[in-house]
């Protein structure tokens, strides 16, 4: 199999300088499980501080920095936006893209998400591409159609080969921040569908692409979720703001 596991913290619009310090201090001396990457995605204003602290503590080998968004343009008159060049200067390695909150609150279409994935890859950064169905879509058994509709524009924009450098996070919208987690069996079945989608296009890519589960992952459910064959780690929201709990979740990851 040979896939890295990834546990990524999505702080959303939470956290402050105190949390940056306590998270990095707590992770100092922490060694993630073999073949596992730990990624922390604070808000933009904390990227430089976190990058400095990671370097000061000599943690560059064990912790990577991520951003929660990037603009699809390289520079220009886009007030309030942040480019991939700026993120690279801040030592960012990963960028979350297509999170359900961006899709629903900021009307980011799958085509816009595809443009962003391309720009992120072109900058040498790793996109964490989020996809997932709403509760209504799950009830109406449209999950597979919705996931395909979210993935296809990205495949069309970058080609399936480039998915070797993409991380996909399956995040059922009804499980994000709700305390309702997909059962390990349901999550595995959906991850197997996503891997199958890639296998139909390119077997090698399907075997390589890390598929993360996200949606109310915590210290109590991470072991069972991460034990599933097609779940290669998690994208963690609320629980990633709790320093000790986040470490427990990271330790449950199983890369190979
Ligand atoms: C997320 O926002 O990506 C997420 C998974 O949040 P939570 O873990 O809080 O459900």
CATH code of the domain covering residue 137: 3.20.20.70
Q: Which residues of 62-72 are buried (b: 16+ CB within 10 A; e: fewer)?
A: bbbbbbbbbbb
- Tens-of-pLDDT digits for all 256 residues of the chain? 689 999 999 999 999 999 999 999 999 989 999 999 999 999 999 999 999 999 999 999 999 999 999 999 999 999 999 999 999 999 999 999 999 999 999 999 999 999 999 999 999 999 999 999 999 999 999 999 999 999 999 999 999 999 999 999 999 999 999 999 999 999 999 999 999 999 999 999 999 999 999 999 999 999 999 999 999 999 999 999 999 999 999 999 998 8
Domain limits at 192? 5-252
The whole-number pLDDT of residue 1 equals 61
The whole-number pLDDT of residue 2 equals 81
Could you say which DSSP state residue 106 is in?
Answer: S
The whole-number pLDDT of residue 255 equals 85
Ligand 1 pocket, CB under 6 A: 10, 171, 176-177, 214-217, 235-239
Nearest C-alpha neighbor of 120 from the set 167, 172, 180, 153: 167
The whole-number pLDDT of residue 29 equals 87
For the chain, what is the domain count? Answer: 1
Atom of ligand 1 nearest to the CA of 218: 8
Atom of ligand 1 nearest to the CA of 239: 8
Report the separation in Å between the CA atom of 168 and the middle of ligand 1, taken as the mean of its atom positions: 14
Report the separation in Å between the CA atom of 240 and the middle of ligand 1, taken as the mean of its atom positions: 9
């Amino acid at each position: 199999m040979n896939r890295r596991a990834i546990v990524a913290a999505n702080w959303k619009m939470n956290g402050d300088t105190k949390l940056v310090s306590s998270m990095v201090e707590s992770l100092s001396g922490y060694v993630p499980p073999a073949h596992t990457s730990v990624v922390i995605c604070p808000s933009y204003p904390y990227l430089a501080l976190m990058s400095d602290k990671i370097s000061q503590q000599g943690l560059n080998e064990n912790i990577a920095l991520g951003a929660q968004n990037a603009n699809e343009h390289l520079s220009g008159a886009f007030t309030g936006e942040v480019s991939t060049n700026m993120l690279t200067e801040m030592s960012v390695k990963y960028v979350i893209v297509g999170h359900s909150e961006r899709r629903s609150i900021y009307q980011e279409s799958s085509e816009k998400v595809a443009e962003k994935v391309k720009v992120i890859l072109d900058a040498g950064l790793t996109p964490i591409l989020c996809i997932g169905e709403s509760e209504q879509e799950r009830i109406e058994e449209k999950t597979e159609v919705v996931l395909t509709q979210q993935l296809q524009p990205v495949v069309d924009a970058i080609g399936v080969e480039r998915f070797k450098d993409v991380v996909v996070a399956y995040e059922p919208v009804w499980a994000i921040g709700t305390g309702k987690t997909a059962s390990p069996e349901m999550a595995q079945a959906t991850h197997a569908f996503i891997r199958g989608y890639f296998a139909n296009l390119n077997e090698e890519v399907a075997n390589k692409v890390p598929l993360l589960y996200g949606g109310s992952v915590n210290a109590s459910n991470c072991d069972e979720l991460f034990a599933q064959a097609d779940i290669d780690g998690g994208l963690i929201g609320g629980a990633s703001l709790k320093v000790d709990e986040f470490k427990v979740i990271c330790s449950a990851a199983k890369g190979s």
